[in-house]
Chain A
Amino acid sequence: KAGVTQTPRYLIKTRGQQVTLSCSPISGHRSVSWYQQTPGQGLQFLFEYFSETQRNKGNFPGRFSGRQFSNSRSEMNVSTLELGDSALYLCASGRGLPPSYEQYFGPGTRLTVT
């Protein structure tokens, strides 16, 4: 079974630009969550989508948004990039319904903002 895939793996952007990251979950998984990981803040939850609806949201500004498509693939967008947005962005998928507890993480997209 193929794992979670994320594209692109690496990205360099300039301040003020916007970026879109993509995540393809494991087949059959309906939940997709996004996380930001930085050395200073660690792993922080961004949001979760389930069946095309945002189910949970972390404490990030409105510049961070996402969506999920009918095939469960998800995208996250960051507008007006800031230097502090440089991070590893991780996507995780799961069945999203009890009794499933596990989330499966992708390799991440390394975003560098200059």
Chain B
Amino acid sequence: LAKTTQPISMDSYEGQEVNITCSHNNIATNDYITWYQQFPSQGPRFIIQGYKTKVTNEVASLFIPADRKSSTLSLPRVSLSDTAVYYCLVGDPMDSSYKLIFGSGTRLLVRP
């Protein structure tokens, strides 16, 4: 699986848009980019997944440039409850050996 690099931490304020960028220089052709969110003492929760360009759901948007060597998770108008650790993962879900390899993640702190 491609290794990912994310900022260790980020600070924001309520109502702001937060963009978390993940680098994955060795991403393979069939790899997808997936983001998970984790609150303390809870299991991670799937946020969004994409392959290229832009994906949007009710929670977030995922921007992937043409070279796919990085991706950006965008959280619109964050609230205090968005304080969590965010993980970027890269892998081929169609591969039978696909498994989630979590890096250090990005600790997002949303302040009032």
Please list the residues of chain A having a beta carbon within 8 angstroms of any beta carbon in chain B. Answer: 4, 33, 35, 42-45, 48, 55-56, 58, 88, 90-92, 98-108, 110
Residues of B within 8 A of A103 (CB): 46, 100
Instruction: Verify A56–B97 contact, CB threshold 8 A.
Output: yes
Contacting pair A101 B44 (CB below 8 A): no
Among B32, B44, B93, contact of A105 (Cβ-Cβ < 8 Å): B44
Q: Give A91 to B43 CA distance when docked, in angstroms.
A: 8
From DSSP, what is the main secondary structure of chain B's interface residues?
loop
**In the complex the two chains form, what is the Cα distance from A88 to B44 in whole Å?**
12
Q: Provide the residues of chain A in CB contact with B32, threshold 8 Å.
A: 101
Which of B43, B87, B101 is in CB contact (< 8 Å) with A45?
B101
Contacts of B41 in A (CB 8 A): 88, 108, 110
The interface residues of chain B lying within 8 Å CB-to-CB of A45 are 99-102
Is the CB–CB distance between B49 and A101 below 8 Å? Answer: yes
Asked whether B111 is an interface residue with its Cβ less than 8 Å from the other chain, the reply is no
Smallest CB separation, B5 vs chain A (Å): 14
| Contact A102–B102 (Cβ < 8 Å) | no
* Contact digits for B10-50, partner A, Cβ 8 Å, 1 yes 0 no: 00000000000000000000001010000001111110010
Contacts of B45 in A (CB 8 A): 105
A81 to B34, CA, bound (A): 34
